[in-house]
Amino acid sequence: MKIAEQLFLFLVFPGLLFSATMGLFVGWIDRKLTARLQWRAGPPWYQNFVDFIKLALYKETLVPHGAPKIIFLGMPIVGLAAATLVSTLVLVSNVKPHSGFIGDLIVVVYLLLIPPLSLIIGAFSSGNSFASLGASREMKLMLSYELPFILALAVPIMKSGSAIRLGEIILYQQSNGTLIASFSGAISFFAMLLCVQAKLGFIPFDIPEAETEIIAGPYIEYSGKALAILKLTKSILMFVVPILLVTLYFGGLAFSAAGIVKTILSYLFILILMIVIKNTNPRVRIDQALRFFWTVITLLAVISVIFAYLGY
């Protein structure tokens, strides 16, 4: 029975089926708001679902000559599984704060590394020079944002009494107030927001993909079902990463009448902020991104840790 319950959590709710549906819908919000910011009408709400079905069912999946088929086609599945696990762990911790396990926050951090790593391995295996260049950029970008990301993450851990379980961080905020209301929490949130902007590959940190420069980079050789899985993985991450930030800084998801309104507003605030940043900034070079994260954002993260240590 326990195995059946775990399979249900992973495959249906709050796992793959639910996360994929919500991810595609959140992707539509991104496209619609982007269109309105550019004075366009934007697509209908079902467009992302149609695009996914078209890629998955009607487009041919091609494998480059000489590419190891298992690695090239297997890496997108690995990334999708990791994104689904992140969504499952984060949502279960919000629905049942006492049901998580010690260290689930650390597991989430590690799982968030797998989608970009799987994309890097798949791109290198394709043998395409543009894909390899995009994968190289992705590796450099990961090296730039992971340090400030971990430092910023230390603030919620410190403020909640060294908790490394998502449920404990949620329960702490329910008793003591949200971390975003504290000085160190606000600085940490801002640093974390920019790190996840890069983690999701959004402008101004879409350097690995850079369609106008390297023709979609690591995605260039993917087509059909494999490309559909990669796009679905990105949609799931776009859905769950704001929930992770709500969990860490806004007290988690609440399910009372007033709490639902607060949760939706907090989620939309983060999502819209990410979309606005994406649409109001030009792409930076990889050396500029490295310098930005290793200096400005790392410094902000360190300052937030110091203030958290001092109790602010």
Residue 54 CA to residue 225 CA, distance in Å, equals 9
pLDDT at position 125, please?
93
* 220 exposure class (CB count in 10 Å sphere: 0-12, 13-18, 19+): buried
Ordered alpha helix ranges (H), 127-165: 129-159
Neighbours of 269 (CB within 10 A): 15
pLDDT at position 1, please?
45
87's tokens: 């969504």
pLDDT in tens, 32-87: 999 998 899 889 999 999 999 999 998 999 899 888 999 999 999 999 999 999 99
Q: Please answer whether residues 125 and 72 qualify as being in contact, where contact means their C-beta atoms are separated by less than 8 angstroms.
A: yes
Amino acid at 41: A
Residue 228 CA to residue 61 CA, distance in Å, equals 10
- Residue ranges in the chain modelled with pLDDT below 50: 1
Residue 174 CA to residue 243 CA, distance in Å, equals 16
Q: Any residues with CB less than 8 A from the CB of 276 and at least 6 apart, and which?
A: 37
The full set of domain ranges for the chain reads 2-310
90's tokens: 């984060």
pLDDT at position 81, please?
94
Between CA 152 and CA 102, with CA 19 as vertex, the angle to 5 degrees is 45
Inter-CA distances, 117 with 61, 120, 138, 142, Å: 21, 5, 9, 9
Q: Any residues with CB less than 8 A from the CB of 299 and at least 6 apart, and which?
A: none
Q: Please answer whether residues 226 and 73 qualify as being in contact, where contact means their C-beta atoms are separated by less than 8 angstroms.
A: yes
